[in-house]
Amino acid sequence: MRKLPALTAVAVLGLGLTACTTDPEPAAPGATTGPIAVKATDTACEVGRVENAAGTVTFNVTNSGAKVTEFYVYAAGDRVMGEIENIAPGLTRELKVELAAGTYETACKPGMTGKGIRGAFKATGSAAPLTADAKLAEATASYQRYVQSQTAALLPKTEEFVAAVKAGDVAKAKALFPVVRTYWERIEPVAEIFGDLDPKIDGRAEVIEEGMAFTGFHRLEQDLWEKNDISKSGPIADQLLVDVKEIVAKADAEKLSPLQLANGAKELLDEVASGKITGEEDRYSHTDLWDFAANVEGSKAAVQALRPTLEERAPELVASLDAAFKNVDDTLGKHRDGDGWKLHTALSQADLKELTNVINALAEPISKIAAVISK
Amino acid sequence: MVSRRTALTAAGVGIAGVAGAAAVGSVMMNDAPDPAAASPGAPVPFFGAHQAGIVTPAQDRLHFVAFDVITKDRARLVEMLREWTAAAARMTAGRDAGLLGAVGGQPEAPPDDTGEALGLPASGLTLTVGFGPSLFRDADGVDRFGIADKRPAALEDLPHFPGDAIKPEISGGDICVQACSNDPQVAVHAVRNLARIGFGVVSVRYSQLGFGRTSSTSRAQATPRNLMGFKDGTRNLKLEDGKLLDEQLWAHADDGAAWMAGGSYLVTRRIRMLIETWDRTSLTEQEAIFGRDKGEGAPLGRQKEFDEPDFAAKGADGSPAIAMDAHVRLAHPAQNSDAHLLRRGYNFVDGSDGLGRLDAGLFFMAYQRDPRKQFVPVQRNLARHDTLNEYIRHTSSALWACPPGVAKEGDFWGAGLFS
């Protein structure tokens, strides 16, 4: 019975994410409830009040900087409790986030990169401790927030990419290709539950079944890099947008079970091990490391959503997961190239072996999560 | 004969299985193997003063694997060795790698055994572990796990021998596991599960499958043939050699590394044979190169396989019956300061090489008390003079310190090194 209120809260939250207001009300001094004004600039992140009563907390984030910014509320381990992306300069947007009593971090991310400008935040009060079941319900809600944040970016980026292809702008399309895929690859486990939409959007030439056309990202990738001809790619690009719209609508409505979350976290790493390390996935563009990083981030998001339950039931596993994720981040980080990543063809066999090792080391503890969750 | 399936039904699932494994371990110590009693499916005792898989009568199949240790955390390495030891004790007894087994755990969790050996008996499985010089100090001389001062002097890198065509990517390594079994599936299963358990701590550097033992390590065994068609291992050290084993095989506490007492040093070499060229060589030439006849395996000029070679004998034309550069002469203890080896190599065929040539040969493995006095001088002698070198290429090379056996439940491989 305790599950129901939590689930309802999620639905409200989903709306809150997209709601905008241009009239933030400053919080009264000393109050522990009421909206909290956040002043974001390119160098600062002033949070009007760093303590609030547990429950639904409202942030009004004003971007007075010159760069597009984002605002996040994190729980331990950078678990995203709520976020607003794409806050253009001059805009104010509202974030409603439900926080249990505990300590959190707020972050503004001018330029939408890096760890952001962090600050401590505390939710206080004597809210009854959540039961384990409520924790798991919150895990799926937390992950759904993440999925929605990704689909919110996937759709406009796909539109940009499709427009570039149709306009015959090869350079722009090539630059956008790995970026669009980042949002896709982060939430791939969700996409995979929608059957033939996944192969239509992300299928490679050899996995297309008889009677199905080779469409989607990789077909356009082939046109862009191998055939060097996108003059006839328009219909494929249009179809990609139709398919992405459909999957975004479905993904936003879909709620994964905690077990699906746990398995999704592992499957993302299996994707890395089988398709990205080998350079098989992006065989024409060689932008596999973009997908690699996105898969790892998606896996981390799923794991972090389950974190409260894991901390309660298997604290040692949490410690080893944190260490293994850090190891992957550090190792992958060696292959950064500007804002993006080196091409797969620029990596040596020794580099790939090292990446294989850190992924195996991470996938092993992650494979244990499902059993902990299903106890 | 204990099969995994009967173990599951008889002992139930989970904790009862542990008790069963412990019982098996305590009644079967490997100090006095009895080759006559061994059936191909029977278990080989895991616990004992020496590791099994050294004097154990050579099984038919090999899966050898060399690992790099990729963690810097000594505690994690030790923990893995503990887990490996527990899994090895279970698997060599014919049981699953983990406590729950391939089908006994939670449906949502990956099984703690991979399952391809379900229903198969222990099949004489032995698992033997060894530590390479690089575990003690890396290429930059860094003491990786605080054990550099425990590196035995006998574990110094092998020298480059004339004619060596060593590929670094299939040579060396920090830890090796030799899995021998009478069923290839059982050996592969064991290595696969140890690699799985070791993810994050170790990474497979290379591995080698072998079939057809090329040595006898017991007088109860017939001498097998290598892929050149000759009997191999006629003069091998064997488990019946008692005093000679003590002198030539087992490391002693006063050899310089007390933790190695009861252990042994293993040399592994992947020797590619140029099969097609060899097969075009006349029988007389082949026999002259080995110094033995091909059918019986007798030293040239003698009648029977186990006859002592007569290195002074002359042939009808007045030249030595056994050529001065014949393999049997160059490798004989009399020519090498009485150095013996306990060889337990395996034939291998890794398919073909893309040019249609068989990628085949001998995965040579030899145990000894001190490679500086045994393998190294013998191989120097062979590498310089042996006509056989025209038909073989050494492509992989490694040296390992194989610690003494695991005395009892709860102890672990290399405990002496890490204590």
The DSSP annotation for B11-33 comes to H-STHHHHHHHHHHHHH--TTS-
| Position A246 confidence tier, pLDDT thresholds 50, 70, 90 | very high
For residue B337, how many C-alpha atoms fall within 13 Å in the half-sphere facing its CB? 11
Residue B177's DSSP bridge partners are B65, B129
> What confidence tier does A256 reach under pLDDT thresholds 50, 70, 90?
confident
Whether the complex's predicted ipTM is more than 0.90 is answered with no
| B-chain residues near A360 (CB < 8 A) | 199-200, 203
Contact flag B106-A356 (C-beta cutoff 8 Å): no
SS3 assignment, position A237: helix
The torsion region of residue B396 among left (phi > 0), alpha (psi -120 to 50) and beta comes to beta
A356 has a chain B CB within 8 A of its CB: yes
Contact B291, B311 (CB under 8 A): no
Question: Do residues B359 and B353 make contact, with C-beta atoms less than 8 angstroms apart?
Answer: yes
Q: Percentage of residues in chain B with pLDDT exceeding 70?
A: 91
pTM over cut 0.90: no
| Size (chain B), residues | 419
Averaged over A359-374, what is the pLDDT? 89
pLDDT tens, residue by residue, B253-274: 999 999 999 999 999 999 999 9
Question: Cβ B200–A356 below 8 Å, yes or no?
Answer: no
Using the predicted structure, report yes or no on whether residue B19 has a pLDDT greater than 50: no
Residue B3 binned pLDDT confidence (cut-offs 50, 70, 90): low
Say yes or no: B110 contacts chain A, CB-CB below 8 A.
yes
Place of tokens 């091990």: A273
pLDDT per residue as tens digits for the range B405-414: 999 988 999 9
Q: Where does residue B165 rank: exposed (0-12), middle (13-18), buried (19+ CB within 10 A)? A: exposed
User: How many Cβ atoms sit within 10 Å of the Cβ of residue B286?
Assistant: 19
Task: Look up residue A22 and give its DSSP letter.
Answer: S
Q: Is B312 on the interface with A (CB under 8 A)?
A: no
Nearest by CB to A374, from B70, B108, B200: name it.
Answer: B108
* Residue bearing the bigger pLDDT, A77 or B227: B227
B168 and A CB contact within 8 Å: no
CB pairs under 8 A between A and B: 34
pLDDT at B387 over 80: yes
Least confident of A216-230, A260-274, B109-123, B238-252: A260-274
Nearest-neighbour CA in chain A from B85: distance (Å): 19
Q: Identify the band that residue A224 occupies on the pLDDT scale cut at 50, 70 and 90.
A: very high
CA distance A202 to B40: 51
According to the model, what pLDDT value does residue A191 have?
83
Residues in chain A: 375
Q: Which strands make up the sheet holding A45-47, listed edge to edge? A: A45-47, A36-40, A55-63, A92-99
Identity (one letter) of the amino acid at B387? T
Considering only CB atoms, B200 lies closest to which of A360, A368, A371, namely A360
Please tell me the distance in Å from A100's CA to the nearest CA on chain B: 29
- Record the tokens describing residue B310, joined without a space: 């007569």
Task: For chain A, give the mean pLDDT.
Answer: 85
- How many Å apart are CA A366 and CA B13, to the nearest integer? 24
Query: Chain-wide mean pLDDT for chain B?
Result: 90
For the four alpha carbons of A237, A243, A249 and A250, in that order, the dihedral sign comes to negative
User: Has residue A217 got a pLDDT over 50?
Assistant: yes
What average pLDDT does this structure show over B377-391? 92
Nearest to B212 by CA among B195, B225, B202: B225
Query: A8 is written with which tokens?
Result: 């309802």
Residue A3 has pLDDT above 50, yes or no: no
DSSP H or E segment with residue A117: strand A117-124
Indicate the SS3 state at residue A276.
helix
pLDDT over 90 percentage in chain A = 56
Shortest CB distance from B200 goes to which of A259, A364, A373? Answer: A364
CA distance B94 to chain A (A): 25
Q: Which of A191-195, B34-38, B103-107 shows the lowest per-residue confidence on average (mean pLDDT)?
A: B34-38
> Residues A26, A30, A31, A32: what is their CA dihedral angle, to the nearest 10 degrees?
120
Tell me the chain A residues in contact with residue B105 when contact means C-beta distances shorter than 8 Å: 371
Establish if B383 touches chain A: CB-CB under 8 angstroms.
no
Q: Answer for the pair B35, B50: CB distance below 8 angstroms, yes or no.
A: no
> What number is the average pLDDT over the span B100-106?
87
State which amino acid sits at residue B15: I
User: CB neighbours of A154 closer than 8 A, spacing ≥ 6?
Assistant: A180, A183, A184, A187, A244, A248
Q: Is the pLDDT of residue A130 over 70?
A: no
Residue A235 has pLDDT above 60, yes or no: yes
| Cα–Cα nearest to A235, from A247, A225, A220 | A220
Average pLDDT in the A107-119 region? 87
Q: What is the pLDDT of residue B214?
A: 80
> Is any Cβ of chain B less than 8 angstroms from the Cβ of A136?
no
Determine whether the interchain pair A361/B200 forms a contact, defined as Cβ–Cβ distance below 8 Å. Answer: yes
Contact across the interface for A371 and B200, Cβ inside 8 Å: no
More confident: B151 or B220: B151
Mean pLDDT of B221-228: 93
Whether residue A356 and residue B199 make contact (CB cut-off 8 A), yes or no, is: no
* CA–CA distances in Å: residue A156 to residues A74, A151, A153, A161, A188: 25, 9, 6, 9, 18
Q: Which residues on chain B are in Cβ contact (under 8 Å) with A324?
A: 200
Q: Which of B194, B193, B79, B199 is nearest to B145 (CA)?
A: B79
Between B354 and B33, where is the model more confident? B354
Are A369 and A262 in contact, with CB atoms under 8 Å apart?
A: yes
Mean pLDDT of A6-23: 36
Residue B18 confidence class, pLDDT cut points 50, 70, 90: very low
> Is the separation of the CB atoms in B377 and B234 below 8 Å?
no
What radius of gyration do chain A's Cα atoms show? 21
* Minimal Cβ distance to B108: which of A324, A357, A371: A371
Q: Measuring CA to CA, how many Å separate B23 from each of A187, B16, B17, B39, B380?
A: 49, 11, 10, 20, 47
**Are the beta carbons of B108 and A324 separated by less than 8 Å?**
no
pLDDT(A27) > 60:
no
Strands B392-402 and B264-273: antiparallel
Which region among A252-261, A275-284, B43-52 has the lowest average model confidence (pLDDT)? A252-261
Among chain A residues, CA nearest to B68: A357
Q: CA angle, corner A58, sides to A52 and A64, nearest 5?
A: 110
Look at A360 and B106 and tell me if their CB atoms are within 8 Å.
no
B199 neighbourhood in chain A, CB within 8 Å: 360-361, 363-364
Q: Which residues of A touch B200 (CB under 8 A)?
A: 324, 357, 360-362, 364-365
CA distance B236 to A174: 65
B382 vs B283: CA distance, rounded Å:
21
CB contact under 8 A, B108 and A362: no
Mark residue B206 as left, alpha or beta (left: phi above 0; alpha: psi -120 to 50; beta: remaining): beta
**Would the pLDDT of B206 be above 60?**
yes
% pLDDT > 90, chain B: 77
**Residue A4: predicted pLDDT:** 32
Angle subtended at Cα A155 by Cα A150 and Cα A158, rounded to the nearest 5 degrees: 115
Using a CB-CB cut-off of 8 Å, the residues of chain B touching A353 are 203
pLDDT band at A165 (very low <50, low <70, confident <90, very high): very high
